[in-house]
A and B are shown apart, each in its own frame.
Chain A
Amino acid sequence: MEYFLQQLINGVTLGAIYGLIALGYTMVYGIIGMINFAHGEVYMIGAFIAVTAFTALGVAGVTFVPLALAVVLLVAVTFTAAYGWTVERVAYRPLRGAPRLAPLISAIGMSIFLQNYVQLLQGARVKPLAPVIRGGFELLHANQFSVQLSYIQCFIILATVVLIAVFTLMIARTPLGRAQRACEQDRTMAALLGVDVDRTISLTFVIGAALAAVAGVMVTMYYGVVDFFIGFQAGLKAFTAAVLGGIGSLPGAMLGGLLIGLVEAFYSAYFSIEYKDVAAFSILVLVLVFRPSGLLGRPEVEKV
């Protein structure tokens, strides 16, 4: 029971991170109907910027954790958002209106490029980061097993909840959110009503990248290590989460992220930690075979 509770906490934390990345996939899919395979790399860049910023602040002697955290978040979000914008501008916008396969190939190319670019600049070795937030609550202690909820897990879960709330509000209430939904349904008509479709799409990438940056900061603090390859795995998992929840559905992405996180945590706890990826990706296969529209997705409707 205690073991189960601990894994539940771990799974929710992991799921929050996957969910934040999955939102980026699902938003972009919703608005331009393509899978942005470079999104995982954008997240990896966010994590690298976080390591760099933490190290720089450490050298500068900033020891007050909330301040350091705020600065790192700001820096990571800003730079990663710029990467997100650039990726769209360079790799996808010129292919707008091209057959669907073209931007997909371009996305895979962008993903390979960003991985190698970071590997060249930062080296292939794992970059460590000393724990920024230590300690935690002991929720339960029984049968020589203590259930821990660390402060960093609290931070990850809380920050995710806040971000999701702000993000949901933005999509539902602001002109930008409305324009995004309008572009999702009929890009031509939105343009005819004066909505700048290109800018709306750019901002979608920027927001997706910003969420991925936060996930990158979190993962850096949680695991304490970063390398150029983390984007590939986390990206695929988040993509699985988005598909599981129903690609194009924002609540679906969060739900999918949470489920993938839980599956991974419980599978590694009760079966085998080496094969946790098998569990996650089996879900991808099962969903694609039995319920391609995902848990909360609508079945694909032919667009005119």
Chain B
Amino acid sequence: MSAPPLLEVADLEMRFGGLIAVDQLSLTAAAREITAIIGPNGAGKTTLFNCLTGFYRPTGGRMVLHHPNGALALDRMDGYRIAARANVVRTFQNIRLFPGMTVLENLLVAQHNTLMRASSFSLAGLFGLARFRRAERAALERARDWLARVDLLDVADLAAGTLPYGAQRRLEIARAMCADPVLLCLDEPAAGLNARESSALGALLLEIRAEQAIGILLIEHDMSVVMGVSDHVIVLDHGRKIADGAPAAVRHDAAVIKAYLGEDDDAALPPAVAADLRAGQGGA
């Protein structure tokens, strides 16, 4: 534990007028780990992502990314630089592909900066210089590799908007991976997927974790995915962190059960949960 964690968020606060969406939130996420962020609707999960990716400028706190090239203060970066320099890439709850471009082109846009550099701002691209052709071949190879992994190779030349829903979800993850992330933020990637698709998604995430030295932040409501893949679960409620630990521990946490099931007395809870709850309180 000598190296600092990949992402360090300290005392993050995001206010919208009188509403505090994220309140004194501190958390860390490690490389080569999947950190799940769960919580009821309105807990501030997506707001946290919006802060991390520069959509919102936090009203307080710090977010430091320990990038291989040095520590970066995410709260002081904005716009495209977060993806281009800090390599923080996200997906959205509602899919945001480029619907009119082909599946393959979607993955090439994600490799824009590499290609722009190789092509000297597209001039070399027009004249088909060797250096650019090599870079373009590498980009295509990478794109095809990811398409094969998410099983979309045979639709590479279709417009992304014409794909079925589940395929669009997979494409979004493949596109994010093509952008060469150091920290990948997935916002409800399993939303709207059926059980088979969700388990395939879980397998894909585990594969990414095993192969790439990146950290994954995962917002998800599908508990089978969360419990199946995460190394570490952080629970938010009303913008505060109420639990933080291994999946098994968080599942039995009294505060978490309260947040999800309400604050009624034990009698209203299902017997098994009530037993867990009592055990948790006894333990504490």
**A residues adjacent to B (C-beta < 8 A):** 166, 169-170, 173-179, 181-182, 185-186, 188-197, 203, 304
Contact = CB atoms under 8 A, between A and B. Distances in A.
Contacts of B96: 186, 188-189
A178 B105 contact: yes
B173 to A, nearest CB: 13
8 contacts: A174-B122, A175-B122, A175-B125, A182-B101, A192-B83, A192-B89, A195-B80, A203-B121
Contacts of B105: 178, 181
A96 to B, nearest CB: 11
Greatest chain A CB density within 10 A among B99, B100, B109 is at B109
A175 B110 CA distance: 10
Kindly state the interface size class of chain B when it binds its partner.
20 to 34
Given A176-B121, A182-B109, A194 B98 contact: no
Interface in B86-112: 89-90, 92, 94, 96-101, 105, 108-110, 112
A170 B80 contact: no
B122 A197 contact: no
Contact of A181 (B83, B94, B98, B179): B98
A182 B126 CA distance: 19
A257 B29 CA distance: 56
Given A181-B98, A186-B98, A193 B179 contact: yes
Contacts of A197: 79-80
Contacts of A182: 98, 101, 109, 112
Contacts of A185: 98-101
B46 interface: no
Interface in B120-143: 121-122, 125-126
B98 A189 contact: yes
B109 A196 contact: no
B89 A176 contact: no
Contacts of A166: 126
A117 B99 CA distance: 43
Given A193-B89, A195-B112, A196-B80, A175 B119 contact: yes
Given A176-B116, A178-B101, A186-B98, A191 B80 contact: yes
Interface of B: 53, 79-80, 82-84, 89-90, 92, 94, 96-101, 105, 108-110, 112-113, 115-116, 119, 121-122, 125-126, 175, 179
Contacts of A193: 83, 89, 109-110, 112, 175, 179
A209 to B, nearest CB: 16
Contacts of B119: 174-176
A175 B116 contact: yes
Contacts of B97: 189
Given A189-B96, A193-B175, A181 B84 contact: no
A174 B121 CA distance: 9
A193 B100 CA distance: 17
Contacts of B80: 190-192, 194-197
Contacts of B122: 170, 174-177
A70 B200 CA distance: 59
Contacts of B108: 175, 178
Contacts of A195: 80, 109, 112-113
Contacts of A304: 94
Nearest to A173: B125
B101 A181 contact: yes
Contacts of A173: 125
A211 to B, nearest CB: 14
A153 B113 CA distance: 41
A193 B181 CA distance: 10
Given A176-B121, A185-B98, A194 B112 contact: yes
Contacts of A189: 92, 96-98
A179 B119 CA distance: 13
A36 to B, nearest CB: 21
Contacts of A191: 79-80, 83
